[in-house]
Amino acid sequence: MRVLYLSYNDATSALAESQVLPYLVGLAARGHDITLLSWQHGSEPNATFREMELSERLAQAGIRWRTLRYHARPAVASTLFDIARGIAYARALHLQQQFDLVHARSYVPAAVALGFKRVTGIPYIFDMRGMMAEEYVEGGNWSSDSLPYQLTKSMEGSLLSEAAATVVLTRNIGRHLVEQARVRASTLSVIPCCVDLHRFQPATTRRSAADPLRLVYAGSVGTWYLLDEMVQFASLGLPLHEVRLLILNADERSRIRAALDRSPALRGRASSIGIPPKAVPGYLAGSDVGLSFRKSTFSQRASSPIKVAEYLASGLPVVSTPGVGDLDEQLATERVGVTVSGTDPSALQEVWPRLTDLTMDPTVAERARAAAERHYSLNEGVTRYDEIYRGLGQ
């Protein structure tokens, strides 16, 4: 298939490095002719250098890369401008490449794909990534009666109804969309955030009962993540274990330091470091338990935290809050983690005996790795996208 892939995320970002580029390289290796169109933010130091480096990498993989400039303000008008410009640019690219399919990652690219389809008849995949309008409301960025929310929800209906295929991250939100007749089950696929299993590997040595219990959290601590509750959870384990807490985060050091300072019990036992993405696998392999505490809201039913896939691939059991994607079911069924019933101290405390049993289970690392291979393999994710492409090409 000759595919135009649309991403509103900067292609040089860490998110694209993890959740866009590996899929495209895998799909190109399976014979698809890929053109990536991304909206570049271009404001970070060395942005031009990183773009030159990425252009070389993509060319070596046989992927064409084209860019447009992202506009942030004024909020609604700038997005509408980016959509209109994206449709015009996609039409110009189509004259050269004669695309068979458009793969749109999230809502703004899907709006471009919809406009392009109405002009050219070329079908598109709506790769939702989440429930955008609800995320912005629940994250405190919009109100439910605001113009951006109303426009997004109005547009969402058309994006779903006119898509040749829809991809969501979780079975949880997929069931909801089908039950609400927003999308047909026959056109819906579930592909979670996947991980390169070659990069993340379990440790070769096992922790003994006398060793400190090393908890790790990797990633952003903004909007959805419950930093104070994770810090409190770590401190509540001290009567049972010599707990250590490590937070891997390069950009929010002052916020993390303030949260750690609010827990004197962890003084000398908790730290935060900023590391490049390539160093994350080593730190996870040197840990014992991965934390992922998120707000339990409606939009989180559509969420697939990549950190959880990385934890499991590294052989770590996971502690999670409830209502996040498919994690409640997966952690229980695979016996690779525990879900807290709430975030008050008593609910956090009652998890510790179960977590203690898990960490001393000699087979938990093997089960966690197997769960990652079953649910979050990058190769399997590429295979599912490849099947969608080929199915639409028949």
pLDDT at 49: 83
pLDDT band at 79 (very low <50, low <70, confident <90, very high): very high
pLDDT at 44: 64
| pLDDT value at 313 more than 80 | yes
pLDDT in tens, 328-383: 999 999 999 999 999 999 999 999 999 999 999 999 999 999 999 999 999 999 99
| pLDDT value at 394 more than 90 | no
pLDDT at 259: 95
Question: How many other CB atoms are there within 10 angstroms of residue 47's CB atom?
Answer: 14
pLDDT in tens, 41-57: 876 666 788 899 999 99
pLDDT band at 209 (very low <50, low <70, confident <90, very high): confident
| pLDDT value at 37 more than 70 | yes
Average pLDDT score over residue span 288-311: 97
pLDDT at 75: 84
| pLDDT value at 193 more than 70 | yes
| Cβ-based neighbours of 381, under 8 Å, separated by 6 or more | 23, 191, 192, 194
pLDDT band at 210 (very low <50, low <70, confident <90, very high): confident
- Residues counted in the chain: 394
Neighbouring C-alpha atoms within 13 Å toward the C-beta of 37: 27
- The mean pLDDT value of the chain amounts to 95
Percent of the chain with pLDDT over 90: 91
Residue 270 and residue 266: Cα distance in Å, rounded? Answer: 6
The domains of the chain, with CATH numbers, are 2-194+377-393 (3.40.50.2000), 213-375 (3.40.50.2000)
Interior angle at CA 392, CA 391 and CA 394, nearest 5: 70
pLDDT at 206: 81
Average pLDDT score over residue span 131-141: 94
Quick one: 196 exposed, middle or buried, by C-beta within 10 A (0-12, 13-18, 19+)? middle
